[in-house]
Amino acid sequence: MDYSWKFDNHELYLINILWLFVIISYINLFSVRPINNVAYFNKYLAMLNSTTITGLLIFTTVSYAGYKLYKKAWGNPPLNKYDDKDQIASIPGHCLFCKIIHTNKEPFYRDDKVVAFYDKYPIGRIHIQIVPLRHIKNVWHLKRSDIELIEHMRQVGERLLRNIDPNGEYVFGFHHPLCNSIPHLHMHAIVLPLKSWSGKVEISKPIFITPEKVIAKLAPKEKIN
């Protein structure tokens, strides 16, 4: 696998600050045409006076604190602009589900392909996540060879729900990549009824894809002659 260095959030942030500094320096430097090299140099020194440095320090501190607060409240800011979210997530410690899988806070089900755990914010009466051990970003990153995995996830999901509530009404599905909250493939296994109207939105057709549909998409098209 080709692995190239991917920047972390903090690094991206610091790089942006550095760029800002460079841009401000240049605007400052060229805003008045210097008469000669000495004037040029003096102007550059003036730019580095204490007021500028203090201002920059305050700006950096305040915005960094704001960034930290944002991160604490909302998690990682969207990074698609800079990088592939999947690559960021693949760095150990960045993917929530990989963390659960590898740090082994024992999930209630585990086999050689998937783990299962209760959703932290259940939208139905019972809400389980079936998560493959392999880091797959979302359904768009599945290959034909993954059909077996999807079938397995569907089977495990159904088996677990049957153990908990044999007579329940079940819903299984993946979120559309554009509405995916966590960039690690997961199948929702839900026992109805839903808890709120927002749950209804979450499992509505445009953003919720059933495992059957995923398999149909991956399966080779039958030739009709």
Give the residue numbers annotated as catalytic, written as ranges.
Answer: 188
Closest CB to Zn ion among residues 22, 179: 179
Closest CB to Zn ion among residues 68, 141: 141
* Residue 175 CB, nearest approach to Zn ion (Å): 4
* Residue 177 CB, nearest approach to Zn ion (Å): 10
* Residue 176 CB, nearest approach to Zn ion (Å): 9
Q: Out of 88, 95, 187, 190, point to the residue binding Zn ion (CB under 5 A).
A: 95
Whether a cis peptide bond, with omega within 30° of 0, leads into 193 is yes
Residue 44's Cα: distance from chain center in Å?
43
Under the criterion CB under 5 A, does residue 98 sit at the interface with Zn ion?
yes
* Sign of CA pseudo-dihedral 121, 125, 126, 131: negative
Q: CA angle, 187 as apex, 181 and 188 as ends, to 5°?
A: 80
Under the criterion CB under 5 A, does residue 97 sit at the interface with Zn ion?
yes
| CA separation, residue 43 to residues 14, 55, 56, 57 (Å) | 26, 18, 18, 20
- How many angstroms separate the CA atoms of 172 and 129, rounded? 10
The stretch near Zn ion (CB under 5 A) out of 10-18, 169-177, 191-199, 205-213 is 169-177
Closest CB to Zn ion among residues 95, 209: 95
* Residue 101 CB, nearest approach to Zn ion (Å): 7
**116 to 145: interface string for Zn ion, x by CB under 5 A:** -------------------x----------
Q: How many CA atoms lie within 13 A of 133 on its CB side?
A: 12
Question: Across the beta sheet with 208-209, what order do the strands follow?
Answer: 109-110, 114-118, 124-132, 187-194, 170-175, 208-209
Under the criterion CB under 5 A, does residue 184 sit at the interface with Zn ion?
yes
Binding site for Zn ion (CB under 5 A): 95, 97-98, 135, 175, 184
